[in-house]
Structure 1
């Protein structure tokens, strides 16, 4: 008579009668036909959770992609610096410059020293040391990502600021310390 094993046990125990069992069966069938409101709410909540998870996954994926592109760009710039750095820079003339608020010293030849001061050669950060690069390459590197070029004596930086109170006291770039 009843389709549910629990209902059968309740009938045998005498806790419910046949009328009550039929009424419960009828209500269950009606809820199935019309769509249970709890099930619909659960479906909506599940769909919303899936949409939120998908959006979160997309954001994480975009962040990972951006980090990968940044890492690739950095590796490409390091490779460019290694390929185009000026070889045989060692000499007895020292060029002193500031890197991260620390004074660094680079020993170069007199010819390279003059080119650094004139702005034709720049000093770039390369892993643990420094490399000398031609100015046009340094401009390309700086346009892609900043932070690699340490010293660049380009012409625009040498122009005097109108508000500078020490503009009358010009200090030459080739001043030896």
Structure 2
């Protein structure tokens, strides 16, 4: 038995047999029950929403991964500083330096003072305090992540020669102060 007028007309005209009409009506009923009769626009909108959600989730995961890698790198640098810091620093000579627009002071030995001034030893930030590090290690740390090195006296004279506005003037040898 045909459910709509068009099916009835097609059956009377002999264009469709009764088996095929039953099959089509069953497919239509099944589509209505399962929701397969959604329009193409709805399916497209759903696919677009899923794609946007997937892209957003991927961006969030990348950001979380970047933050995690930064934390791991920071922890590795702190561990390197703790392992390689110069421990025998207590002395009677005070060295003053600027950190975050504040003048800080540490008591060190005369030998360490001379090495800091010469640029062989560097002062690095270690959590709430400071640590003295050899120059090669400080350079490696600075290439990995900046912000740990507080005092780094660079003794290269090339930098002074390039920026020196009085480089063209000759200083006489017999000048007395």
When normalised by structure 1's length, the TM-score is: 0.72
- Residue aligning to 1:22: 4
Structure 1's 25 and 159: CA in aligned 2 closer, same or farther, altered over 3 A?
A: same
- 3-state SS in 1 of match to 2:98: strand
- Residue aligning to 2:123: 123
- 3-state SS in 1 of match to 2:132: strand
CA distance in 2, matches of 1:158, 1:116: 19
Structure 1's 164 and 92: CA in aligned 2 closer, same or farther, altered over 3 A?
A: same
- Residue aligning to 1:55: 55
Structure 1's 104 and 165: CA in aligned 2 closer, same or farther, altered over 3 A?
A: farther
- Residue aligning to 2:12: none
- 3-state SS in 2 of match to 1:105: strand
- Residue aligning to 2:154: 154
- Residue aligning to 1:142: 142
User: Structure 1: which 4+ aligned runs deviate by more than 4 Å?
Assistant: 23-26, 161-168
Q: Superposition RMSD on alpha carbons, in Å? A: 3.0
Structure 1's 82 and 163: CA in aligned 2 closer, same or farther, altered over 3 A?
A: closer
Q: Is there any run of 5+ residues in structure 1 with no aligned partner, and where?
A: 3-20, 169-177
Aligned residues: 146
Cα deviations by residue, 1:85-119 (Å, 9 ceiling, x for unpaired): 00021111000011111111111000100000000
- Residue aligning to 2:43: 43
- 3-state SS in 2 of match to 1:104: strand
- 3-state SS in 2 of match to 1:59: helix
- 3-state SS in 2 of match to 1:160: helix
Tell me how far 1:156 sits from its aligned partner: 3.4
- Residue aligning to 1:99: 99
Structure 1's 25 and 112: CA in aligned 2 closer, same or farther, altered over 3 A?
A: farther
When normalised by structure 2's length, the TM-score is: 0.72
CA distance in 2, matches of 1:155, 1:24: 96
